[in-house]
């Protein structure tokens, strides 16, 4: 092997390992700048020596091979079957009775492996000698569509299997999906760009897979869970159960869904399904439409076989849940004006219980969507809640309209509901905007965002009080908040001496917030909490970030070209620069503390916080952990070092105990940090 070939091989391995740590384990070990340097080195090597590019090269994740994604047909090595459905405990008992007729006592003796039924798009990944060769949709089960170039852009699908023991030729089956958070952020970005929003995560994932241009797929927040694999012909497998199969997939670098459980009896399966449907489902970060119950022993699976034609395995069944959909009346459509002037409609509903939660409001995204669905005030509508932060209106029930007095179609506003300025709409954009930068609604939203707990955290400044201060002419932008005095506020209605003192103290305390909080609070377009931290940690001061080039900002791992351009535009504005100077003159901190050094008490630790802590807010606890070198994550996995338990802890605590992960309380966390 030549020196260049050896270097390319080393770079591929290092980059793929770093990608797995970053996207799957959520525990990166390679710095952003170093990752970018290695990536560009490999890319340059492959451009100069095309023969060095292999099928598992990380550079293929950017979708450079557009011609490979024309949805050619692909015959699966082993047909992909489908599952029969059980909608109740009785249906599950009937399935079990049929299984006992075939396998006898071995059916129950085997036990069961229970898994989440991800509401996504089924795919099959073919690996040859451990390298991803083909990605295909399910299709009709025998023949699917070749979407190889697209699945290569999904960061948590390994281009090369880790570990050892995998067959030379293998198809790994799983689901491509989107998290609710990723889906909502994607739709928010599409609204800003004037593009139509997507209806739901499942359809969005399926559509993204079938794009002809992989660069489009790469921009969608797609994720993957594996749950099975198939090999052609007879093969000796290094395990004897479905549970061990999932463990093996994880050891090969394939992400496996959480909340799986081994059950010794059908009664335990029923309990698992009920808990999943009534409790855990609402806390998941992605959509499921039920669980999957599988006979655990592979030998018993083989004995049970499939139904006639091989369409459905007898050893597995989908335990379906009732959809989170209800009917109620659309009472009104409110118009909200955002920080950037975008007018967003919101459905006001007659309160209705969906999935154990009372729903009064639902998202409508934009006015085109209202017209497309023909939603009218007074309509009976279907509302869906499947874990989304805000429920969505699926559509009206036209047959329930009174034919003698049908509700009238809704008309989009032609003027801003707050300042009455004529609205504007750029050609080919969905968003309708108020162009008035002095619109009181825009100022209100800007200030509410600035004072929020995850921004500058000014306690006591509710929406009502911000509105009151604006209407009194006491504030006009974030800097003027720091000019408020107790005497001025005490003179306002509903302000007492004590509340004025507390608010002034909270405003003063917010001056010490780090630069990352300030950047997020300023509402820079496309800059969320995590991006604000990346910017602040990279540049250290507002002055350094202000003087940085677009290229320097884009060089940060995790900051793409559109975000970099947005940040540069914001800092190029003389008005924004003046605001920063005004804040600094009033004593607001514009620097970021250095990250924990090697002696950090929690350096490298991955920590989950669940429930309500006695004295610490969630944001404060997270900052303490990060200040000590640790990282707070949302989900429990084998990589979690310990879990901090608060009151009313739920499924995360259960999973931590099941995995044998250490559980501590707030007092012990503070002791370890040294507080």
8 A C-beta contact, residue 482 and residue 583: yes
21 falls in which pLDDT band (50, 70, 90)? low
Six-digit token pair at 399?
Answer: 């047959």
Given a cut of 90, whether residue 82 has pLDDT beyond it is no
Strands (E), 343-427: 343-354, 357-363, 380-384, 392-396
6 falls in which pLDDT band (50, 70, 90)? confident
Asked whether the CA dihedral 55, 56, 57, 63 is positive or negative, the reply is: positive
Given a cut of 80, whether residue 199 has pLDDT beyond it is no
Average pLDDT over residues 280-289: 82
The lowest-confidence range among 37-46, 107-116, 447-456, 607-616 is 37-46
What's the whole-number average pLDDT of the chain?
85
> What is the per-residue pLDDT across 532-558, written as a single tens digit (0 to 9) for each?
988 998 899 999 999 999 999 988 877
Six-digit token pair at 453?
Answer: 């707990």
Q: How far apart are CA 443 and CA 438, in angstroms?
A: 7
* Helix, coil or strand: residue 360: strand
CA nearest 160: which of 240, 54, 62? 54
Average pLDDT over residues 161-178: 90
Give residue 67's pLDDT. 37
Q: How far apart are CA 618 and CA 604, in angstroms?
A: 20
> What is the per-residue pLDDT across 446-469, written as a single tens digit (0 to 9) for each?
999 999 988 999 988 888 889 889
Longest dimension (CA), the chain: 84
> What is the per-residue pLDDT across 363-374, written as a single tens digit (0 to 9) for each?
888 898 898 888
Six-digit token pair at 352?
Answer: 């209705």
Give residue 65's pLDDT. 36
Q: Is 73 a catalytic residue?
A: no
Average pLDDT over residues 96-100: 93
8 A C-beta contact, residue 28 and residue 633: no
Asked whether the CA dihedral 620, 621, 624, 626 is positive or negative, the reply is: negative
Average pLDDT over residues 11-40: 66
Could you tell me how far CA 105 lies from the centroid of its own chain? 43
Q: How far apart are CA 507 and CA 483, in angstroms?
A: 10
- How many helices (H) does the chain have, and how many strands (E)? 26, 20
Give residue 79's pLDDT. 84
Q: Which of the following is catalytic: 117, 320, 622, 652? A: 117
Name the residue with tokens 């992605």: 286
Given a cut of 60, whether residue 62 has pLDDT beyond it is no
Domains assigned to the chain: 3-53 (1.10.287.610), 75-181+196-265+284-320 (3.30.470.30), 440-510 (1.10.150.20), 515-585 (1.10.150.20), 606-673 (3.40.50.10190)
φ, ψ for residue 352 (rounded to 5)? Answer: -145, 145
Given a cut of 60, whether residue 470 has pLDDT beyond it is yes
φ, ψ for residue 415 (rounded to 5)? Answer: -130, 155
pTM (predicted TM-score): 0.51
CA nearest 663: which of 609, 619, 626, 618? 609
8 A C-beta contact, residue 470 and residue 441: no
The lowest-confidence range among 22-26, 91-95, 575-579, 590-594 is 22-26
Please report which helix (H) or strand (E) contains residue 319, including its range: strand 316-320
Give residue 380's pLDDT. 92
Six-digit token pair at 624?
Answer: 């303490």
């Amino acid at each position: 092997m030549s020196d260049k070939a050896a270097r390319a091989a080393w770079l591929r391995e290092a980059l793929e390992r770093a990608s797995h740590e970053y996207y799957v384990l959520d525990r990166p070990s390679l710095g952003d700048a170093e990752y970018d340097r290695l990536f560009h080195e490999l890319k340059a090597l492959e451009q100069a020596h095309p023969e060095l590019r292999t099928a598992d090269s990380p550079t293929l994740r950017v979708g450079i091979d557009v011609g490979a994604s024309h949805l050619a047909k692909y015959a699966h090595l082993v047909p992909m079957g489908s599952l029969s459905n059980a909608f109740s405990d009785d249906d599950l008992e009937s399935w079990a009775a049929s299984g006992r007729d075939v396998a006898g006592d071995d059916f129950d003796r085997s036990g069961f492996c229970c898994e989440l039924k991800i509401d996504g798009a089924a795919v099959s990944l073919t690996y040859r000698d451990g390298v991803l060769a083909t990605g295909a949709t399910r299709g009709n089960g025998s023949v699917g569509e070749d979407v190889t170039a697209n699945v290569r852009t999904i960061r948590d699908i390994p281009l090369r299997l880790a570990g050892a023991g995998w067959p030379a030729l293998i198809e790994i089956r799983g689901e491509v999906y989107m998290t609710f958070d990723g889906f909502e952020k994607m739709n928010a970005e599409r609204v800003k760009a004037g593009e139509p929003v997507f209806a739901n995560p499942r359809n969005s994932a399926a559509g993204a897979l079938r794009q002809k241009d992989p660069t489009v797929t790469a921009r969608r927040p797609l994720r993957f869970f594996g749950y099975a694999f198939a090999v052609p012909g007879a093969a000796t497998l290094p395990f004897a159960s479905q549970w061990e199969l999932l463990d093996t997939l994880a050891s090969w670098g394939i992400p496996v869904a959480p909340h799986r459980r081994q059950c010794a009896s059908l009664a335990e399966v029923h309990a698992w399904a009920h808990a999943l449907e009534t409790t855990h489902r609402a806390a998941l970060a992605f959509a499921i439409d039920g669980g999957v119950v599988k006979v655990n022993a592979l030998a018993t699976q083989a004995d049970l076989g499939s139904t006639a034609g091989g369409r459905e395995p007898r050893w597995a069944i989908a335990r379906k849940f009732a959809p989170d959909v209800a009917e109620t009346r659309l009472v009104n459509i409110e118009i909200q004006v955002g920080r950037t002037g975008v007018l967003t409609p919101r459905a006001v509903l007659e309160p209705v219980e969906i999935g154990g939660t009372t729903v009064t409001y639902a998202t409508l995204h934009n006015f085109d969507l209202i017209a497309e669905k023909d939603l009218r005030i007074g309509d009976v509508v279907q509302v869906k809640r499947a874990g989304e932060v805000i429920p969505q209106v699926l559509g009206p029930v036209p047959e329930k309209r009174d034919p003698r007095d049908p509700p009238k179609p809704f008309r989009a506003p032609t003027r801003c509901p707050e300042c009455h300025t004529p609205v504007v709409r750029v050609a080919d954009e969905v968003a309708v905007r108020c162009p008035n930068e002095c619109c009181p609604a825009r100022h209100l939203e800007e200030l509410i965002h600035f004072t929020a707990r995850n921004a500058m955290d000014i306690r006591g400044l509710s929406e009502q009080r911000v509105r009151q201060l604006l209407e009194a002419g006491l504030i006009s932008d974030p800097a003027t908040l720091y000019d408020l005095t107790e005497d001025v506020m005490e003179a306002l209605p509903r302000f007492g001496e004590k509340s004025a003192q507390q608010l002034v103290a909270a405003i003063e305390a917010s001056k010490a917030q780090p630069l990352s909080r300030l950047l997020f609070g300023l509402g820079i377009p496309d800059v969320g909490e995590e991006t604000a931290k990346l910017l602040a940690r990279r540049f250290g001061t507002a002055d350094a970030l202000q003087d940085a080039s677009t290229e320097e900002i884009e060089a940060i791992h995790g900051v793409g070209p559109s975000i970099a351009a947005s940040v540069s535009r914001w800092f190029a504005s003389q008005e924004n620069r003046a605001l920063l100077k005004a804040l600094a003159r009033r004593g607001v901190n514009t620097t970021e503390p250095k990250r924990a050094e090697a002696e950090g008490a929690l350096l490298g630790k991955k920590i989950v916080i669940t429930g309500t802590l006695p004295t610490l807010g969630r944001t404060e606890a997270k900052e303490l952990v990060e200040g000590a070198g640790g990282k707070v994550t949302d989900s429990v996995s084998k990589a979690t070092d310990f879990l901090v338990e608060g009151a009313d802890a739920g499924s995360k605590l259960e999973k931590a105990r099941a995995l044998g992960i250490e559980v501590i309380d707030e007092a012990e966390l503070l002791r370890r940090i040294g507080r």
